[in-house]
Amino acid sequence: MTGRIPQPFIDEVVARSDIVEIIGARVTLKKSGREYKACCPFHTEKSPSFWVSPEKQFYHCFGCGAHGTAVGFLMQYEKLGFLDAIADLAQRAGLELPREAQAPHEPGGVDLYQVMAGASRFFEQNARDSERAQAYLGKRGIDASTGAKFALGYAPDSWNALLNRFGAADEERRRLLQAGLIIERDARAGQSPGFYDRFRDRLMFPIRDARGRVLGFGGRVIDQGEPKYLNSPETPLFHKGRELYGIYEARQARSDFKRLLIVEGYMDVVRLHQAGITYALATLGTATTQEHLNKIFRLTSELVFCFDGDRAGLAAAWRALENALPLARDGRELKFMFLPEGHDPDTLIAAEGAQGFEEHLKRAVPLSEYLVRQLIEQVDLEHVDGRAKLAALAAPLFKRMPDGVYRELLLDRLAGEIRMPAAKLQEHLGAAGRESSATGAQGRGPAARREPGAQPRPARAEPTAPKRSRMSAGRGSLLSQAIALVLHHPAAARSVSGWSELAQCDLPGIAVLTELLNQAAGMEQPSTAMLLERWRDRPEYGRLSELAAASGMVDTAAAAGQELQMAVQKLKDSVGPGRRVDELLRKAEEMGLNSDEKTELSSLLKAKSHPGGGS
């Protein structure tokens, strides 16, 4: 899925989606009062702690803490990105995606996914009919069921086999060209006008997205030839720096992942899956990018890189480490597995089987240990100069890491090698210029962010300043209660007046409340889910989801409206005369007032008793 989805369309999709129906199709739900319950699909349990609210259009597990909307459920359960989840719900609701969110297509109306699907079927049929292809698959130890699982194909040894099958008309040839399946001859090089097939006499590996749609192909020579592997070019569908080979097949094999394994080649993935290592993926002939890593960490918290133990493998491992550092945060495990000399995953699985392979996997080195080991190899720790050089080598790497316990523990480990107090080393490395992790809003489960370009956002609903006065703490609690009331009963926002004046309040997070009130009041039939989806790509999303998952304070929209109106009034009072009265009363109790302050307090109390003024 590409493009952007307009917010009004997202609102409509969420409004038309029934979370009970969506979840009930995948999990056995049982009615319990106004809600539904089940054993949680995201962790193992015997007693149901997973609840679904049709009123809020929201789910929450009291066991593992998973919660969200119908969109979030599809993202977590089906391992879909945000755009694909919206597309799935839109199709279910009979809605057509807006033009800006649709797949790239030509004016003729045939989108490129259809073109790629037709080409994949063509190659797959050729593989079944070709003795040459079948002999090669047999030689590599690939059985028929695995070939079918990965839709392995064969591009005939011809300049125009695919072209003749799908490119009879000019418009068809233009679509094949746009999909990267054919190449236009270069008239400047003296070639005659026309086109020819990009892939010839190659075993074909369809590269599919998480939904199983073919985005591109990887073609491997059958015998000798260069290049050994030929990938589709960059197209409107295919971007090799984003895609992972085997992600569709891995998702088909299991619904959750303890870990994912990144290997280097298509055939490695195929052979590992055939042996039962169904959590293997591969990058597409390029270094592991942060986009790859973001996709992986939506599926699991543990990632193992698998590399050959030669010089090229070590170089690739270090590039992967550098790209992974900005995403190395608390709760995630990144490891490096190096294969015995002379082996790649394909040959190791053939020699030792799945059990032997996983024994090697158990010896994978954590990122922190691998980083320190690699740096230590470049210095002599017996001398001050060497230890100082180690700190200098580590400095740019630490600047790439986000703050957190993981970074602090790694710093302690390095400080031990340098023989320097961790606090001193921290001071040396410095906090300036440190790159923060850009992996999504805080507090959310596996998920995908929307397209970039959003405007700067207000602060979180509940700031965590180290010290706050009793008055500030009280207002913060009141603010959280007000936000929770809007989230639990969005329709109540229409009965609240005077909230626009809250803009005068200096309490951090007040802008979140006013924006929520404005959003809820502007919706015809607002729901908790509709409000939350307005905030999915913003840093406040995690805290808002937590408030939505908490038990409600009142049961009806009418009661919520009354409570919300009182909360708004109290917040307004905290920035008006009421706030000054509280300050003066507190000062009178603690140290006394001077004559001017006594006069001011008397006037404010009189005004508070007679808000209308006059005689």
**Parallel/antiparallel/unpaired status of strands 67-68 and 153-155:** unpaired
7-20 mean pLDDT: 92
In sequence order, what DSSP letters do the residues of 16-78 get, joined into one string?
H--HHHHHHTTS--EEETTEEEE--TTS--SS--EEEETTTTEEEETTT--EE-HHHHHHHHS
Dist CA 615 CA 609 (whole Å) = 13
21 within domain boundaries: yes
Share of the chain above pLDDT 70, in %: 85
Asked which of 147-151, 285-289, 544-548 is least confident by mean pLDDT, the reply is: 285-289
Helix ranges (H only) for 222-365 are 247-253, 266-274, 290-297, 311-324, 345-362
**pLDDT surpasses 80 at 473:** no
The answer on pLDDT for 472 being more than 90 is no
pLDDT at position 522, please? 86
Per-residue pLDDT band for 451 (boundaries 50, 70, 90) equals: very low
Confidence band, pLDDT 50/70/90 cuts, at residue 495: confident
d(CA 493, CA 512): 14
CA distances (Å), origin 436, targets 326, 327, 334, 373: 7, 8, 18, 24
Least confident of 242-251, 395-404, 474-483, 521-530: 474-483
Q: What per-residue confidence (pLDDT) applies to 378?
A: 94
The DSSP string of 467-503 is ---HHHHHHHHHHHHHHHHHHH-GGGGGG--SGGGGG
From CA 589, how far away is CA 586, in angstroms rounded? 5
Higher model confidence: residue 336 or residue 600? 336
Domain-located, residue 586? yes
pTM of the predicted model, to two decimals? 0.61
Q: Which has the closest alpha carbon to 213: 98, 287, 322, 116?
A: 116
Same domain, 87 and 163: no
Structural domain contains residue 480:
yes
Between CA 8 and CA 17 the distance in angstroms is: 14
- Spatial CB neighbours of 169, under 8 Å, sequence gap ≥ 6: none
| End position of a domain, from candidates 439, 458, 490 | 439
100-104, 186-190, 344-348, 505-509, range with the lowest pLDDT: 100-104
Please tell me whether residues 123 and 136 are part of one structural domain: yes
- The reply to whether 435 and 501 lie within a common domain is no
More confident residue, 105 or 261: 261
Q: Which of 48, 72, 101 is the last residue of a domain?
A: 101
pLDDT at 439 (0 to 100):
36
Cβ neighbours for 455, distance < 8 A, ≥ 6 positions apart: none
Structure-token pair, residue 46: 């015997």
pLDDT over 60 at 102, yes or no:
no
**Residue 31, beta-bridge partner list:** 36
The CATH number for 297's domain is 3.40.1360.10
Residue 2 lies in a domain: no
Q: Cα separation of 75 and 51, whole Å?
A: 18
pLDDT at res. 441: 34
Same domain, 501 and 422: no
**pLDDT value of position 453:** 34
- 456 has a pLDDT exceeding 50: no
Q: Give the pLDDT of residue 83.
A: 84
| 487 pLDDT more than 80 | yes
- For residues 438-467, b (16+ Cβ closer than 10 Å) or e, as one string? ebbbebbbbbbbbeeeeeeebebbbeeeee
pLDDT at 202: 97
Q: Where residue 444 falls among pLDDT bands split at 50, 70, 90?
A: very low
Q: Answer whether 333's CB lies under 8 Å from 303's CB.
A: yes
Q: Which amino acid is at 599?
A: T
Query: In the prediction, which pLDDT does 17 show?
Result: 93
Tokens at residue 4, please? 């952007």
Q: Is the pLDDT of residue 229 over 50?
A: yes
Same domain, 170 and 230: yes
Q: Quick one: pLDDT band at residue 16, thresholds 50, 70, 90?
A: very high
| Claim to verify: residue 56 and residue 170 sit in the same structural domain | no
Whether residues 286 and 386 fall in one domain: yes
Average pLDDT, the chain: 83
Residue 207 lies in a domain: yes
Which band of pLDDT confidence, cut at 50, 70 and 90, is reported for residue 5?
confident
For residue 455, being part of any structural domain is answered with: no
**How would you label 472-503 residue by residue, b for 16+ Cβ within 10 Å and e otherwise?**
beebbebbbbbbbbbbbbbbbbeebeebeebe
| CA-to-CA separations, 330 to 139, 298, 367, 404, 413, in angstroms, rounded | 45, 15, 13, 6, 16
Provide the pLDDT confidence category of residue 514 given band limits of 50, 70 and 90. confident
The pLDDT value recorded for residue 445 is 33
Lowest mean pLDDT among 39-43, 80-84, 172-176, 249-253: 80-84
**Domain assignment of residue 394, yes or no:** yes
Provide the pLDDT for residue 281: 97
Strand-pairing partners, residue 221, are: 202
Measured in degrees and rounded to the nearest 5, phi and psi for residue 365 equal -95, 130
Residue 493 has pLDDT above 90, yes or no: no
> In terms of Cα–Cα distance, which of 5, 36, 43 is closest to 22?
36
Here the CATH number for the domain that contains residue 65 is 3.90.580.10
* pLDDT per residue as tens digits for the range 274-313: 999 999 999 998 888 888 888 888 778 899 999 987 888 8
Q: Which domain holds residue 560?
A: 470-575
Contact assessment for residue 3 and residue 87, using Cβ atoms and an 8 Å cutoff: no
* pLDDT beyond 60 at 106: no
Pair (181, 74) in one structural domain: no
Task: Locate 581 and state its tokens.
Answer: 């009265």
pLDDT confidence of 533, banded at 50, 70, 90? very high
Would you say residue 592 lies in a domain?
yes
pLDDT at 503: 67
pLDDT single digits (tens) 161-216? 999 999 999 999 999 999 999 999 986 666 778 999 999 999 999 999 887 889 99
Domain shared by 557 and 596, yes or no: no
**Number of C-beta neighbours around residue 419 at 10 A:** 9
pLDDT, residue 110, reads 54
- Residue 440: the pLDDT is 35
- Quote the number of domains for the chain: 5
Output the CA torsion sign for 145, 148, 152, 155. positive
**Using one digit for the tens of pLDDT, what is the confidence trace for 355-370?**
999 999 999 999 999 9
Angle at 490 between CA 18 and CA 13, to 5 degrees: 35
Check whether residue 185 and residue 303 sit in a common domain.
no
Asked if residues 41 and 77 have their Cβ atoms less than 8 Å apart, the reply is yes
72 and 94 together in one domain = yes
Please, are residues 10 and 451 in contact by the beta-carbon 8 Å criterion? no
More confident residue, 87 or 72: 72
Q: Torsion over CA of 429, 430, 435 and 437, rounded to 10 degrees?
A: 90
308 and 380 fall within a common domain: yes
3-state DSSP assignment of residue 258: coil
Distance of alpha carbon 374 from alpha carbon 383, whole angstroms: 18
CATH classification at residue 211: 3.90.980.10
Q: Could you report the per-residue pLDDT of 557-582, keeping only the tens digit for each?
A: 788 878 888 887 787 776 655 666 77
CATH number at residue 565: 1.10.860.10
pLDDT band with cut points at 50, 70 and 90 for residue 260:
very high
Least confident of 264-273, 308-317, 441-450, 478-487: 441-450
pLDDT for 615 equals 37
